[in-house]
Structure 1
Amino acid sequence: IKGHYLNATAGTCEEMIKRAVFARELGVPIVMHDYLTGGFTANTSLSHYCRDNGLLLHIHRAMHAVIDRQKNHGMHFRVLAKALRMSGGDHIHAGTVVGKLEGEREITLGFVDLLRDDFIEKDRSRGIFFTQDWVSMPGVIPVASGGIHVWHMPALTEIFGDDSVLQFGGGTLGHPWGNAPGAAANRVALEACVQARNEGRDLAREGNEIIKAACKWSPELAA
Structure 2
Amino acid sequence: MQSSNTNNEEKLAAGKQEKDLGNEYFKKGEVTEALRHYHQALLHLHGLQNNKTFAVFRKEQEEEPKKDPIQEEIMKTTSVIYSNIAACLIKNQKWSRAIDSANKALKNDPDNTKALFRRAQAYINEGNTTRAREDLEKLSAKNPEDAAVKREWHNLRLKDKEQDEKQRRDLKGMFERKWKSEEKEEGEKKSENKDEKLTSTAAGSSKTSAMEPRFIELDE
Q: TM-score, with normalisation over the residues of structure 2?
A: 0.28
Which structure has the highest strand share of the two?
A: 1
Report the structure number with the largest CA radius of gyration.
2
Structure having the higher helix fraction is 2
RCO higher in 1 or 2 (8 Å CA, sep ≥ 6)?
1
TM-score, length-scaled by structure 1: 0.28
